[in-house]
């Protein structure tokens, strides 16, 4: 059985447009996440990563226009509102945000906060919810005797992030969305948290979407990686192929920004003013203005296609010969 047949989360042709915005934040995004699988979603700031997660949770502003389909098992989430949405959010689909300390209530003991979440979603007594909270803290390798009665400010950032994971998973969700879950932590703690999350996903047969601007971070913990640029999927592939043989020039540029052991980042992402980056005309590749391999035919919008092991939206992927007379960044689409 393929992962698509087992998909717990299935997104088809997702489009998101914020009110008053000239271009969609997300367009035609499709992917599935199978049970026990981690999909990493990479892209620089503004590429639409968080918007996809918020759409799945029904947390976009009400005037944002959402088209396409987000299915959790048999349940369609697009258009779901009110009580039916709340029954799913937190219960079947859980979210771990970046700012764990601020996401916790500063004036309530941690144990009380976990118990409240459990009681909001699951039947049972307060004592049963308490026992479930203790088990959830054990699962994230925290000492419940110490943590249950503590206030968030008495815990370190890494412990707060583990509390958030315990809380998110305490209601036995099928799908977990983690948006830059380690960005606020020291580098040394980041890997521990991600490895823990990865283990919990595998041992519980969950489906997970990990969001990060850092392809290196995702490479350590994902099965597959999807690269987004300005709301559009540029490449999807198995993690090994993405890291060692990226096909889209933008995937390569993201990889070049990954810090290497014992060295600095190879380079930072080239800053290009929005007006230079080529407005979305609906016509050509929206990365062409930044792309070193851009050629005349990039004026036509590329479809996703299979190149070697990955699905790539590019007319001149790195695994194929460079186009004759590439214009380099700015000449195309101007
Ligand atoms: N509530 C909103 N109203 C209007 N525009 C928004 C809103 N939220 C996001 N956007 C716009 O949608 C686009 C995608 O934003 P999004 O936050 O999804 O990107 P991201 O890749 O998650 O970025 P970051 O890594 O900075 O969180 C951006 O152009 C952003 O400005």
Q: What is the CA radius of gyration of the chain?
A: 21
Q: Is 47 in the pocket of ligand 1 (CB under 6 A)?
A: yes
**Which is nearest to 38 in space by CA: 181, 183, 252?**
181
Mean pLDDT within 305-312: 93
Predicted pLDDT at 195: 87
Crossing angle (nearest 10°) for helices 110-121 and 126-139: 110
Report helix, strand or coil for 294.
coil
Locate all alpha helices (DSSP H) within the chain, ordered by sequence.
49-56, 82-88, 100-103, 110-121, 126-139, 144-147, 157-169, 187-204, 215-221, 239-244, 249-256
Q: What is the mean pLDDT of residues 191-218?
A: 88
Q: What is the pLDDT of residue 6?
A: 57
Domain ranges of the chain: 9-235
pTM metric for this prediction: 0.87
pLDDT of 279 above 60: no
Q: What residues contact residue 83 under an 8 Å CB cut-off, 6+ apart?
A: none
Strands 175-179 and 207-212, how do they pair? Answer: parallel
The continuous run of DSSP H or E covering 75 comes out as strand 75-76
What's the pLDDT score for residue 96? 87
Cα of 48 from ligand 1 centre, angstroms: 6
Q: How far is CA 225 from CA 153, 231, 275, 310, in A?
A: 35, 15, 29, 10
Average model confidence (pLDDT) for the chain? 85
Exposed, middle or buried, 176 (CB in 10 Å: 0-12/13-18/19+)? buried
Q: Which is nearest to 50 in space by CA: 213, 170, 197?
A: 213
Of all residues in the chain, the percent with pLDDT exceeding 70 is 86
Q: What is the mean pLDDT of residues 145-162?
A: 93
Least confident of 198-202, 253-257, 300-304, 326-330: 326-330
| pLDDT higher than 90, residue 86 | no
DSSP state of 329: G
Rounded to the nearest angstrom, the distance between the alpha carbon of 322 and the centre of ligand 1 is 33
List 302's β-bridge partners, or say none.
none
233 pLDDT more than 50: yes
What integer is the mean pLDDT of 231-249?
A: 95
Identify which has the larger pLDDT, 284 or 264. 284
pLDDT digits (tens, 9 = 90+) for 104-117: 899 999 999 999 99
Which range, 32-46, 181-195, 282-296, is most confident?
A: 32-46
Q: Is the dihedral of CA 202, 208, 213, 215 positive or negative?
A: positive
With a cut of 70, say whether residue 4 has pLDDT above it: no
Bridge partner list, 210:
40, 178
Name the closest-CA residue to atom 11, ligand 1.
25
Q: What is the pLDDT of residues 49-70, one digit of tens each?
A: 999 999 999 999 999 999 999 9
Quote the CA–CA distance of 234 and 232 in Å, as a whole number.
6
Mean pLDDT for 195-201 is 90
| pLDDT at residue 41 greater than cutoff 70 | yes
Q: Is the pLDDT of residue 144 over 70?
A: yes
The span from the CA of 126 to the CA of 182, in Å, is 31
User: Is there an atom of ligand 1 within 6 Å of 62 CB?
Assistant: no
Q: Name the pairing type of β-strands 38-42 and 224-229.
A: parallel
CATH number at 9-235: 3.40.50.300
Going by pLDDT thresholds of 50, 70 and 90, the confidence category of residue 126 is: very high
Q: What is the mean pLDDT of residues 205-225?
A: 90
- pLDDT of amino acid 76: 94
Q: Which is more confident, 321 or 165?
A: 165
The best mutation among 14, 17, 20, 21 to test binding of ligand 1, ranked by most ligand atoms within 8 Å of the C-beta, falls on 21
Question: Does the beta carbon of 40 lie inside 6 Å of ligand 1?
Answer: no
Pocket test for ligand 1, best of 51, 234, 286 (most atoms within 8 A of CB): 51
- pLDDT, residue 137, reads 97
Both tokens of 160, joined, read 């707060």
210 vs 262 pLDDT, higher one: 210
Tokens of 318: 């790195």
Name the residue with the closest Cα to ligand 1, atom 3: 18
When pLDDT is averaged across residues 27-34 and rounded to a whole number, the result is 95
Residue 318 pLDDT > 50: yes
User: pLDDT tier at 183 (50, 70, 90 boundaries)?
Assistant: confident
């Amino acid at each position: 059985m393929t992962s698509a047949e087992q998909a717990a989360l299935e997104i088809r042709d997702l489009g998101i447009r914020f009110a008053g915005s000239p271009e969609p934040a997300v367009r035609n995004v499709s992917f599935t996440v199978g049970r026990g699988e981690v999909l990493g979603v990479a892209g620089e700031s503004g590429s639409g990563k968080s918007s996809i997660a918020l759409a799945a949770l029904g947390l976009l502003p009400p005037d944002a226009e959402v088209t396409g389909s987000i299915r959790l098992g048999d349940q369609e989430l697009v258009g779901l509102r009110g009580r039916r949405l709340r029954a799913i959010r937190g219960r079947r689909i859980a979210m771990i945000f970046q700012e764990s300390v601020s996401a916790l209530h500063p004036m309530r003991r941690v144990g009380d906060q976990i118990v409240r979440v459990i009681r909001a979603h699951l039947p049972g007594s307060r004592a049963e919810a308490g026992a479930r909270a203790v088990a959830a803290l054990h699962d994230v390798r925290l000492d419940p005797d110490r943590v249950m009665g503590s206030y968030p400010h008495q815990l370190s950032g890494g412990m707060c992030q583990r509390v958030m994971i315990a809380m998110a998973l305490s209601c036995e969700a099928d799908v977990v969305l983690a948006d830059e879950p380690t960005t606020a932590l020291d580098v040394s703690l980041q890997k521990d948290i991600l490895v823990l999350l990865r283990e919990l996903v595998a041992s519980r047969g969950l489906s997970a979407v990990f969001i990060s601007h850092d392809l290196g971070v995702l490479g350590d913990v994902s099965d597959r990686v999807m690269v987004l640029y300005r709301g559009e999927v540029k490449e999807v592939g198995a993690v090994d192929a993405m890291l060692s043989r990226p096909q889209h020039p933008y995937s390569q540029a993201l990889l070049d920004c990954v810090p290497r052991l014992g060295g600095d980042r190879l380079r930072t992402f080239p800053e290009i003013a929005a007006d230079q980056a080529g407005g979305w005309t609906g016509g050509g590749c929206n990365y062409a203005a930044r792309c070193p391999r851009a050629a005349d035919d990039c004026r036509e919008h590329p479809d996703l296609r299979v190149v070697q092991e990955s699905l790539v939206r590019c007319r001149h992927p790195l695994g194929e010969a460079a186009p004759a007379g590439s214009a380099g960044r700015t000449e195309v689409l101007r």
